[in-house]
Structure 1
């Protein structure tokens, strides 16, 4: 097997590349470098600069490297940006996937793993979100991920491609400091950014119907997420496991925003009290995964906790940003 990882030099992509090469898999990365750090990639992984919208490039890469499976991570992923630029999100996330699937089908590649998101569910009023929970995304980003799942499954049926769609919950942490998230879009780096600038962390709403009034989320260590990709890729490589799967990737445990900020304060030594601001539109009180189906289908479970996420994120933050 040779795997093409699109978005392979990104935060999640580089973790997946490292997990797969560490397990003996052959990998090539494709990335447009818009949100990437090429140095994150293992030295043995070739990096091709380009977009999934470039069909000719995709066909050349699939052929030149003898690709037999694809892990598709490349996508735009900021909710607020998707609201402001919906056509861009549909063009890049859905259009790029369609172009990739055409190239995959033409090249006879028989396996594809798609990076989806818990955003496909929207804001369901359930204790645990299962893969059977109705999907009702509330922003263009989530819509593109749900449309992507539909497209992946349809192409799989049409062209005999075995597929897996992984619905990520809230990703955090780093397997090594140099692999850390360099953006300031997710909650852990947002808190670290505030503390580094000598400002208190922010909580958006503390009057939700949860034990401490703040939103409850399921946080997954990026190293666990990468191991889930490896397990899914190996299932795809097993000819007896052909077909399609859709799986939640989370820990199945809820952590409130206030609890998470407390852990980050303990890790950094900066325990200042957060400031409470108004609710953000669209935030659900609770979004926690049921991860049982992934355990059954892949033999995979998350092994790392919130403290490990905070500690590793802090180490990476200091490397990239100081502090």
Structure 2
């Protein structure tokens, strides 16, 4: 049994397809089939059977998929530990939703300033991908909504967020009271990238109020761009209250008194937990829960990352092209 064979099987199990597994590995389909066949022969189990257009794992296949994921993760952890012992920079991979990634700059600055030997990468993705990314060790820590239904993940709350609905002062509902969400059905909603995440406040708000038509949603390259559009009177948005403190103080935006708002959302720092997560991931998880980190995020501006740490921190935001509805 080899790591390459286990990797092939894990990808087949994840994608439900030999073709998709081969594409991710950048090898031929026969190469993946040979690797999986070797595992079947050694373990004496079919591991999966054809089911419609996909596959269905056997009981043995399900057990192997879980164990193989852990084995591959430990192998990666061993590789990184040996590399670090040889003088290479320690690396930490952070996964966050696009919204969270846009606001954690001050937290990341403070954390990395304490450790010159740490190289940190921030990548954004939907919250639904957190569990798989952590379990398959494609990320060391995830910041955003707490993963649900995953006993393998240890999530620590680090920020209590308030989301409010805002609009330009000239908006017809600016002076309204106890506005029913249904009254906003004809409004143009402004959101940041990439799409509505059901795990976050805006996505869950629309899910609870299906009368708010999706065609009235304009997606911008960032939350800050959506705020600028709201200031220009191009629509309304559900936004982090601390992200628009200056705009509200200057009366560039006003809060709409919509029933059910403000919406409270808790952000969590999630890892594989003690004994499985990298020490740097556990350190960031602990630091995120400190008053110092909370204050830094709450008082910082969206997207702010100091040039002092740019060489050590790499941020990847999967942005959507702005859709400026008519």
With normalisation by structure 1, the TM-score equals 0.24
**Bigger radius of gyration among the two:** 2
Task: Return the structure number with greater relative CO, CA threshold 8 A, min gap 6.
Answer: 2
With normalisation by structure 2, the TM-score equals 0.24
